[in-house]
Amino acid sequence: MEFETRAIHAGQEPDPATGAIITPIYQTSTYVQDAVGEHKGYDYSRVANPTRTALQAALASLESAEHGIAFSSGLGAVMTLFHLLSPGDRVVLIADVYGGVYRMTSQVYEPKGYRFEYLPAEEFANLGDHLDETTRMVWIETPSNPLLNIVDIRAAAEAAHAAGALLVVDNTFATPYLQRPLELGADVVVHSTTKYLGGHSDVVGGFAATSDPAIAERLFFLQKSLGAVPGPFDCWLVVRGIKTLALRMRKHCENAMAIAALLSRHPRVERVYYPGLPTHPGHAIAARQMRDFGGMVSFLAESPEEAAALVARTRVFRLAESLGGVESLIEVPARMTHASTADAPFASPPSLVRLSVGIEAIEDLLADLEDALVPAAA
Ligand code: PLP
């Protein structure tokens, strides 16, 4: 079946008890057993819950994965994946990794003896040179947050595998509608479902997918052992969100392209980061491995002061962290989502403004940005 059909039906059979077409919110912590150890596949909701089962099956299908494992947040998924490693293991990550991941690597795992190297996107052409026998994992975001850097997933998978390492791809920005890393050779895909998969800024969640049975078995074990599991209502919200993922992503991409074009010719914008622009250094790779270029656009304002001032001037674009909802958001990563990278070698530029372009009428979004970019006369 096609992607749009699977988004609506995969893992979402009518409820066997009532015929309800929508997967119920199984708001229960435990399940009655007929005799000791005799149950219907569920014994305790940290281990498994039917609403979570539906979400895991649906998202695994969309990522072309054999197995899906849901978590309480994107960082809950990241933390659990790092438990595939042991102290002393080395991980190579894309340099402008999400600030919360950098906070976890630098302040939680590095003090325990795990080792991390942060590699700029342009260095990924020579990824093999940065891998040694202690490197267990390569971690990329593509497009990356917040600079929209692009990494060639197939080439990264080949280099990682040649060194005996796993390739993990954070697919939060692209979503499986635009890009499916497992089909390109990645071992694990990770998501913050808080973003496009949920799609309505009303839930926090995470997800990992893999087709490797050994990794999947370990992740299910870690899911129940570490306990970063999502509640049934949160799972239900994401199941509902993904039904319209394809439609939403098409509009996000269309609006983002129009906004990138406007910003590119605007005299008060120093530089635009959007992989859909032919001038973007990763454009050719993005065009090859993505269906379209996504809904995130970043740009450099004239100064850090102007960046902070202009994000307070927009009216349709709301000043807020997060991304991927139907409504447009604007922020300054260096002072908001990526403040934790301030001391990193790859700190977010202070004049950078990040847009999560929503699915409102494009005329209103363009007018809002044009008004905000030209400060009112004193
Ligand atoms: N990965 C990326 C690319 C993100 O943007 C985020 C959050 O912004 C996360 C992971 C973490 O997800 P969560 O906020 O759901 O824990």
288-317: per-residue pLDDT in tens? 999 999 999 999 999 999 999 999 999 999
Q: At which of 242, 260, 292 does a domain end?
A: 242
Query: Are residues 110 and 218 located together in one domain of the fold?
Result: yes
Evaluate if residue 175 carries a pLDDT over 60: yes
Please tell me the pTM assigned to this model. 0.97
Query: Do 172 and 197 belong together in one domain?
Result: yes
Q: Residues lining ligand 1, judged by CB closer than 6 Å?
A: 73-75, 98, 100, 141, 145, 170, 172-173, 192, 194, 204, 206
Of 97, 98, 207, the one to substitute when testing ligand 1's pocket (max ligand atoms within 8 A of C-beta) is: 98
Residues 10 and 92 in one domain: yes
Amino acid identity of residue 210, one-letter, is: T
Q: What is the mean pLDDT of residues 217-221?
A: 98
- What is the number of domains present in the chain? 2
Q: Are 147 and 287 in the same domain? A: no
Provide mean pLDDT across the span 231-242: 98
Q: How large is the average pLDDT for residues 315-335?
A: 97
Q: What is the pLDDT of residues 119-150, one digit of tens each?
A: 999 999 999 999 999 999 999 999 999 999 99
* Helix or strand (DSSP H, E) at 269: none
Distances (CA, A) of 30 to 26, 167, 313, 317: 10, 36, 50, 43
Same domain, 263 and 236: no
Residue 75 Cα, ligand 1 centroid: separation in angstroms?
6
Residue with tokens 């400060």: 375
* pLDDT for 243: 98
Mean pLDDT of the chain: 97
- What pLDDT score was predicted for residue 378? 54
Domain final residue pick, 192, 217, 242:
242
The pLDDT, as a whole number, for residue 340 is: 85
Q: Are residues 306 and 251 in the same domain?
A: yes
The minimum-distance atom of ligand 1 relative to the CA of 337 is 8
Ligand 1, atom 15: nearest CA belongs to which residue? 74
Which segments of 74-153 are extended strands (E)? 90-94, 115-119, 135-141
User: Which positions are catalytic?
Assistant: 46, 98, 170, 195
Q: What is the pLDDT of residue 40?
A: 94
* pLDDT at residue 47, rounded to an integer: 98
Vertex 250, ends 244 and 253: CA angle to 5°?
130
What's 315's domain CATH number?
Answer: 3.90.1150.10
Supply the range of the domain harboring residue 17: 3-242
φ, ψ dihedrals at 284, nearest 5°: -65, -40
Residues 254 and 213 in one domain: no
Task: Say yes or no: 237 and 253 in one domain.
Answer: no
**273 membership: H or E segment, kind and range:** strand 271-273
